[in-house]
Structure 1
Amino acid sequence: MPANLDALVIGTGVAGLYELHQLREMGLKVHACDAASDVGGTWYWNRYPGAKFDSEAYIYQYLFDEKLYAGWTWSERFPGQPEIERWMHYIADMLDLRRDISFSTKITTATFNESAGRWRVETDQGDVIDTQFVIGCTGMLSAPLTDRFPSQSSFKGQIVHTGRYPKGGLDLEGKRVAVIGTGATGIQVIQTIAPIVDKLTVFVRTPQYVLPMKNPKYGPDEAHWYKGRFDELKTNIPHTFTGFEYDFQHTWANLSPAERRAILEEIHADGSLKLWLASFAEMFFDEAVSEEISEFVREKMRARLKDPRLIEILVPKKGDYGFGTHRVPLETQYLEAYLRDNVEAVSVRGNPIVEILPEGVKLEDGTVYEVDTIIMAVGFDAGSGALARIDITGRDGVKLAEEWRQDIRTTLGLMKFGFPNLFMTGAPLAPSAALCNMTTCLQQQTEWIARCIGDTRASGNNVIEPTEAGEDEWVRHHDETANATLIAKTNSWYTGSNVPGKPRRVLSYTGGVGTYRAKCDAVADEGYPMFTMSKVAAPQTA
């Protein structure tokens, strides 16, 4: 690890790899580090059974280089984790990035030196780095909530969080397995392992709206089709509402009930996230529209389950929350897994898990479920969690973790007042915190950061920081936009309510990916009015 840098990138997932490439191309002395043993970020850590894309593979890609885009061929519409990880290796190798990455290296502290205008960074390997800029590419869902239940450590079998699933996997064949959690991750695990385990017990707290995935294999014709669309995708995707290739195109009030139903049926049959991200935008604002679309999805789910007990446990009820205000999972025969004789759904909504015993899972009413393996799909401290777990100290000794324990605030989701020369991606108050095709948003954010660093240096300055007024302005705009939606009224990780004590705020910017891009570009074009630049002279040595 070099001791002196222009820029240090933390993390080598989608954002970190591209940021490293850009800053290196600008001529900066830049290095990246990652706690993992290889590149991949999300796709390194989340190697649980069934992990896969639910963005179409050909849009979950970098769009800055057509040769790089066309050089990789996907095997299916929604590939699984092993293929995605290989793609990340391809990116790192094609751009020759590994020579500037330190793996198995965790950042422990980062302290801003006000007199020098630089950061002092330490790692768990004993490295001490002096760097002008720090760029946190730590991921929006990379701080797993691993210690959720009393006495977890007493369990005599294997217990794993999906976000830290072992590289070699687990031998689940013939085992009694518990899965705790039925969000997008839990659903992928459940549908995948149900046929191979002896007994699968699923603990369900919050029923989820689900959409069936259609995942055709890709051959030469499909590859030729999407590779030929590079210019179209590069032009259009960054300006859609969610960073996908499709966008909202229907207006609820202009259609008859029969026309609405026909559209819902057609989009539901697409087997993608289109029903959520490109049907009727009114579902996020109008409770009546939300309820009608929610009932449409519930109807589809009930028809597949048939069993009244399973419907009671697994299908959201009217008044719970609206379709799309939680993360919407795609699934393959997930509901049908519960129709198997070896799978049991246990509702813990009114009878919560109170303890993990050596032999299994204990509920409030005293019932104990004896199992050999526990897979916890219990989520993450989203958006703010990964950076907050590093001891980051800004001006005047202010700690980032303490700031975010009081209030979740950023400027454009890219910087934080009081923390000069610290940039972030996938952070709160930007679309990349949740509501975006991640490569679309992370490319935009890393490109903005690279431009900002270049502009700061070109101006003769070496320090940039948001103003307090600029941060207030962005938080106010973010809240006005978010609070107009039904997302703000729903308890989920989207609002931080899955983490006890976390300040409540919609984590993701809800004004749309294209709108966010335009606002970020305008700030840069206008000379960064929400920021202040300065030149700090290096202290003289004797």
Structure 2
Amino acid sequence: MREPSPRVATDFDAIIIGAGVSGLYQLYRLRELGLATRVFESGSNVGGTWYWNRYPGARFDSESWTYGYSFSQELLDEWDWEEHFAGQPETERYLNYVADKFDLRRDIRFRTTVTAAHYQEDSRSWKIMLDDGTSCTARFLVTAIGVLSASVLPRIPGIESFQGQSCHTHNWPKEPVSFDGKRVAVIGTGATGIQAITEIAKTAGHLTVFQRTAQWSAPLHNARVTPEEMREIRRNYAEIFARCQETLGCFIHTADPRSVFEVTEEEREAFWEQRYGEPGFGIWMGNFRDVLVDREANRLMSDYLARKIRQRVKDPAVAEKLVPRTHGFGTRRVPLESGYFEVYNQPNVKLVDLAETPIERITPAGIRTSDADYEFDMIVYATGFDAITGAFDRIDFRGVGGTSLKDKWADGPVTLLGILVDGFPNFLMVMGPHAGLGNFPRAVEYTSDWVTALIRHARDNGITRVDATPEAAKAWTDHVIETNEGLLFTEVDSWMTGINRNLEGKQVRRVMRYSGGHPAFRQHCEAISAGGYRELSMA
């Protein structure tokens, strides 16, 4: 065994930032190693995404029984899912149940925000600064800060002048919010906006939707999980999780091996009707193999969904505004909806197309566009996130020689496996940039297990400094870029390509995720660990 050097005491063996899906599981795993671990969480409870995003209609689009943790048979045996696609309250209850069952809270410090983390070369440790002015040290620093956790308000003048109630969907109040009889505005029609709009329209006195970009959206087809279904799910958990490991996105859905052009028009239409009528992401992840790479195949699929929108929305002029013109189906993450398009048939709902009449400013009474002044009691900002790297940018991470992570990534992230960053020793990311996105907990469990194995290797061999080599980080980043070539989504402005029109410096497309699929991702990870971590510098 290698002798540890230098021998400098730290407050903790490891510090984890974030107590969401990733942080809870990583804490569980590091505890198994017997490591003194502390989690810092800015919220007042566990849950991460499912703690903060309490807006009406919030729910995930993975099947519930594929989304829960798989590591504990007891947990699988005890927990009954209520819906096939659980809403925020159910998911938050689940994560609280996990925290209680495994006594995780005793190692979590809530209402605490990490403001900075600086690597200390002399002690081979990290110094973590907190918002209360205190600090602590740890050998290893693990980020579990989420892909969509840094919320962004639009760059509209006058936001602070509005005299009614307003909030971003990410920072939704814990206390109940009533829309009864109120004039409500929702700005944004992405996945969050679609969910919130559908619910708010049910009770609002009047709802005005301000749409900048129309989205391709398909039915969720959610339903309650019956006791019989839950028993069947429980019997099949091993098969379900094995299936998730086989697919590119860790969902139960996989692409049809046929091309759009290998079937007749009638067969193609029947196949799309089947997918449109099924629950979940089958229409996106289980479509013909060339829909996301061939322009003509994508156009045909987009035309099919455009017809669906026109069938569901009674006013032809409104329907045309809801048909996307700037991107093809599936080139952005596809929102799943439960009656969204029918909302625009309601007399209490109005759609404002910002491509025609852009917002000029927020006023004390409401919103001013280029052609009208609107008065509101409430404004809801469903304007998304500074995705993937945004949460990293909001913490002052500094590596060897005081190098800023934000500066290092100014031209786009450079990582090894989306887990390590060269020049930032003992810094490990769970679901960082260049990781494979998809069914989140499935990817989280694998990545956290890999991180845990690396830390175990370091501990057992007396290693106190673990870093990616620059050559390995560049090679992985180049490979990530290559896996995105030929995919139509790379040509579209979206959070998946690093674009955010509400932020300065986020107007250039970057490769932010690995698109080679999770089976290939795991092969790369396992090759590195099986090869003795030659791509890492260890001391």
Q: TM-score, normalised by structure 1?
A: 0.95
Q: What does the per-residue CA deviation read over 1:239-266, in whole Å, with 9 as the maximum and x for residues that have no partner?
A: 3111011211331143333222222111
User: Is contact 1:239-1:515 (8 Å) kept?
Assistant: no
Whether 2:446 is the aligned partner of 1:444: answer yes
Write the deviation string for residues 422-477 of structure 1: whole angstroms up to 9, x where unpaired. Answer: 11122211113xxx011111111111111111112223211111111111101111
Residue 505 (structure 2) aligns with? 501
Give 1:203 shift: 0.3
State which of 410, 425, 449 in structure 2 corresponds to 1:405. Answer: 410
Matches within 5 A, 1:31-110: 31-110=38-117
Q: Which residue identity is paired with 1:76?
A: E
Distance 1:387 1:112 in 2: 15
Matched, 1:118 2:125: yes
145-154 vs 421-430, greater mean Cα deviation: 145-154
**What CA distance in whole angstroms lies between the structure 1 residues aligned with 2:380 and 2:387?**
19
Query: Post-superposition, which runs of at least 4 consecutive aligned residues in structure 1 deviate over 3 A?
Result: none
Q: Equivalent residues in 2 for 1:110-509 (5 A)?
A: 110-146=117-153, 148-252=155-259, 253-317=261-325, 320-363=326-369, 365-432=370-437, 436-498=438-500, 499-502=503-506, 503-509=508-514
Q: 1: distance between equivalents of 2:157 and 2:531?
A: 53
Distance in 1, matches of 2:246 and 2:526, equals 12
Taking the aligned partners of 2:256 and 2:72, their CA distance within structure 1 comes to 29
Contact 1:301–1:315 under 8 Å retained in 2: yes
How far off is 1:419 after superposition?
A: 0.9
Q: Which moved more, 1:285-294 or 1:241-250?
A: 241-250
Deviation of 1:147 (Å): 5.3
Q: Supply the distance in 1 between the matched residues of 2:440 and 2:193 (Cα, whole angstroms).
A: 20
In 2: Cα distance, 1:3 partner to 1:515 partner: 37
Would you say the 8 A contact 2:14–2:37 is kept in 1?
Answer: yes
Once the two structures are TM-superposed, the CA of residue 366 in structure 1 deviates from its matched residue by 4.7
CA 1:12–1:323: 2 relative to 1, 3 Å? same
Distance 1:61 1:124 in 2: 32
Which stretch has the larger CA shift, 512-521 or 42-51?
A: 512-521
Name the aligned partner's letter for residue 477 of structure 2: V
Counterparts of 2:379 and 2:409 in 1: how far apart (Å)? 31
SS at structure 2 position matched to 1:472: helix
SS at match of 1:283: coil
Verify: 1:7 aligned to 2:11, yes or no.
no
Partner Cα distance (2:264, 2:348) in 1: 45
Alignment partners' CA distance in 1, 2:10 and 2:528: 33
Structure-1 residue corresponding to 2:4: none
> Residues 358-416 of structure 1, C-alpha deviation per residue, up to 9 Å, x if partnerless?
111122x2522111111000010000111210111111111112222332222211111
1:16 equivalent in structure 2: 23
For 1:66 and 1:246, locate their aligned partners in 2 and report how far apart those are by CA, in whole Å.
24
Q: Separation in 1 of the partners of 2:515 and 2:420?
A: 18
Deviation by residue 1:161-216 (Cα, 9 ceiling, x = unmatched): 00111111322211111000000100000000102111100001111111112112
User: C-alpha displacement at 1:70, in angstroms?
Assistant: 2.1
Amino acid at match of 1:287: R
Secondary structure of 1:281 counterpart: coil
Structure 1 contact 177–374 (Cα < 8 Å) conserved: yes
User: Which consecutive residues of structure 1, in runs of 5 or more, have no partner in the other structure?
Assistant: 535-542
RMSD: 1.4
Secondary structure of 2:499 counterpart: coil
Contact 2:28–2:104 at 8 Å: present in 1 too?
yes
The secondary structure found in structure 1 opposite 2:160 is: helix
Alignment correspondent of 1:531: 536
Report how many aligned residue pairs link the two structures.
527
**1:239, 1:517 within 8 Å by CA — same for their partners in 2?**
no
- Counterparts of 1:300 and 1:522, CA distance in 2: 46
**Counterpart contact for 1:18–1:443, Cα < 8 Å:** yes
Partner amino acid, structure 2, of 1:56: E
What residue number does 2:6 align with?
none
Q: Distance in 1 between matches of 2:47 and 2:312?
A: 36
SS of residue matched to 2:38: strand
| Secondary structure of 2:67's aligned partner | coil
Do the aligned residues in 2 keep the contact of 1:16 with 1:32 (CA within 8 Å)?
yes
Measure, in 2, the Cα distance between the counterparts of 1:167 and 1:106.
19
Would the aligned equivalents of 2:493 and 2:509 in 1 still touch at CA under 8 Å?
no
Contact 2:415 2:434 in 1 (8 A): yes
* Distance across 1 between alignment mates of 2:19 and 2:85: 22
Whole-angstrom distance in 2 between the partners of 1:28 and 1:496: 36
* 1:487/1:506 contact within 8 Å kept: no
Answer whether contact 1:211 1:271 (CA < 8 A) is retained: no
TM-aligned CA distance change 1:129 to 1:3, over 3 Å:
farther
Whole-angstrom CA distance in 1 between matches of 2:454 and 2:288: 36
Distance change (3 Å), C-alpha of 1:388 and 1:519: same
1:40-66 CA-partner distances (Å, limit 9, x unpaired): 000000000110121110000111122
Checking the alignment, whether the CA contact within 8 Å between 2:314 and 2:345 is kept in structure 1 is no
Q: Secondary structure at the match of 2:329?
A: coil
CA distance in 1, matches of 2:141, 2:427: 5
Q: CA deviation at 1:3?
A: 7.0
What residue in structure 2 maps to residue 540 of structure 1?
Answer: none
Aligned letter for 2:191? A
Contact 1:66 1:230 in 2 (8 A): no
Contact 2:10–2:139 (CA under 8 A) maintained in structure 1: no
Which one-letter code corresponds to 1:161 in the other structure?
A: H
Between the aligned partners of 1:12 and 1:461, the Cα distance in structure 2 is 27
Work out the CA distance in 2 between the residues paired with 1:519 and 1:239. 15
SS at match of 1:44: helix
In structure 2, how many angstroms separate the alpha carbons of the residues matched to 1:334 and 1:269? Answer: 15
CA contact (8 A) 1:179 1:203 kept: yes
Deviation at 1:22, TM superposition (A): 0.2
User: What CA distance in whole angstroms lies between the structure 2 residues aligned with 1:466 and 1:316?
Assistant: 42
- Aligned mates of 1:330, 1:455 — CA distance in 2: 42
